[in-house]
């Protein structure tokens, strides 16, 4: 397939990330299977407290130091001072009711060994759970325009889209303030656009990606991503700072979100579930108000 010549912008898939365990470190990949709920294995597992409520770096920055590895058979988790934890990809387990934001869903408990591993590292009782694919957790219909877009344990939408140029613009702000550059991993995107202007993801309608599989993937950016303190957590040390939030406040207060700072766009899958996204694939889009 070739893209129409009249797209307002053309770029490429610059980077792809999955985050198998919600709020733990991500994995940069060269390709990923696209599903209705986002990239395969993204936010498929989650850490919960003794009451079944989800845990994140917002309260437990040490979660940034839990680094996942995917093998053919296992999710392998690494953390400082801990022996690696293997979680079989085929594991199901007993069903538990867990909460992520305002949603309560049934999930599979990954067992006592995983619970002890996380409890020891995070310093409080907690358990590892996996999303049960039989469950249906929908994105906000208000933001999707009524389209039913399922997701797993992501905050609210199947995908997060950012741009290389958007990160470059932030790092220019940081440099002007005498601060060091930061990496894209702080923003936890799934898809990073290359060859486009800074924050073009804010302005486009459907993103068309040519997978070479006989038809384009179509992703719909639907909601600006309001930023919490997580981008100010150093993923290498789990230390908190303020420089990223301070820089974003200087130029990324978003009237669409009541003046909150935003970076990246939440997106839903309109077409192409079952196709494989790869770094380097061409993409195109029309501006929403072009």
CB 130 within 8 A of CB 69: no
pLDDT at 19: 98
Domains along the sequence of the chain with CATH = 9-287 (2.40.33.20)
Strands in 31-35's sheet, in edge-to-edge order, are 38-39, 31-35, 276-278
Per-residue pLDDT tens for 240-284? 999 999 999 999 999 999 999 999 999 999 999 999 999 999 999
Mean pLDDT for 24-32 is 98
Per-residue pLDDT tens for 71-123? 999 999 999 999 999 999 999 999 999 999 999 999 999 999 999 999 999 99
Mean pLDDT for 204-229 is 92
Task: Assign 3-state DSSP to the chain and report helix, strand, coil percentages, each to 5.
Answer: 20, 40, 40
Per-residue pLDDT tens for 222-248? 999 999 999 999 999 999 999 999 999
Distances from the Cα of 39 to the Cαs of 235, 236, 254, in angstroms?
Answer: 22, 24, 27
How would residue 5 be classed by pLDDT, with cut points 50, 70 and 90?
low
pLDDT at 141: 95
H/E stretch holding 109 reads: strand 103-109
pLDDT at 137: 97
Query: What tokens appear for 263 in the block?
Result: 């970076």
Which residue is listed with tokens 């993204």? 42
CB 60 within 8 A of CB 24: no
By three-state DSSP, how is residue 121 classified? helix
Mean pLDDT for 211-226 is 90
pTM reported for the whole predicted model: 0.96
**Rounded mean pLDDT of the chain?**
95
Mean pLDDT for 47-70 is 97
pLDDT at 6: 82
DSSP letter for 174, please. H
* CA 223/CA 277 separation, integer angstroms: 22
CB 34 within 8 A of CB 276: yes
* CA 183/CA 235 separation, integer angstroms: 9
How would residue 216 be classed by pLDDT, with cut points 50, 70 and 90?
confident
Mean pLDDT for 3-25 is 91
Distances from the Cα of 206 to the Cαs of 6, 48, 222, 262, in angstroms?
Answer: 14, 35, 10, 20
By three-state DSSP, how is residue 142 classified? helix
| pLDDT over 70 (residue 290) | no
For 163-174, letters b (16+ CB in 10 Å) and e give bbbbbebbbebb
Per-residue pLDDT tens for 167-187? 999 999 999 999 999 999 999
């Amino acid at each position: 397939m070739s893209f129409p010549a009249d797209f307002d912008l053309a770029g490429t898939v610059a980077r792809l990330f999955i985050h198998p365990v919600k709020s733990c470190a991500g994995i940069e990949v060269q390709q990923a299977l696209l599903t209705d709920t986002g990239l395969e294995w993204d936010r498929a597992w989650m850490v919960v407290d003794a009451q079944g409520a989800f845990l994140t770096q917002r309260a437990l920055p040490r979660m940034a130091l839990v680094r996942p590895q995917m093998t053919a058979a296992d999710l392998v988790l690494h953390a400082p001072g801990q022996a690696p934890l293997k979680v079989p990809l085929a594991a199901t387990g007993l069903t538990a009711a867990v909460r992520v934001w305002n949603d309560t869903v049934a999930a599979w408990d990954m067992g006592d060994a995983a619970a002890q591993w996380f409890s020891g590292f995070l310093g409080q009782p907690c358990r590892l759970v996996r999303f049960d694919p039989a469950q249906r957790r929908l994105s906000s219909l208000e933001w999707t325009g009524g389209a039913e877009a399922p997701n797993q344990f992501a905050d609210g939408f199947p995908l997060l889209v950012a741009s290389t140029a958007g990160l470059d613009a932030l790092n220019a702000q940081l440099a002007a303030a005498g601060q060091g550059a930061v990496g894209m991993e702080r923003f936890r995107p799934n898809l990073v656009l290359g060859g486009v202007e800074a924050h073009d993801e804010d302005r486009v309608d459907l993103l068309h990606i040519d997978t070479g599989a006989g038809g384009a993937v179509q992703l719909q950016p639907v909601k600006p991503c309001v930023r919490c303190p997580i981008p100010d957590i150093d993923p290498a040390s789990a230390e908190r700072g303020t420089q990223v939030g301070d820089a974003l406040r200087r130029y990324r207060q978003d009237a669409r979100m009541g003046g909150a700072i935003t970076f990246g766009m939440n997106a839903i899958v309109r077409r192409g579930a079952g196709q494989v996204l790869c770094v380097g694939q061409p993409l195109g889009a029309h501006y929403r108000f072009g």
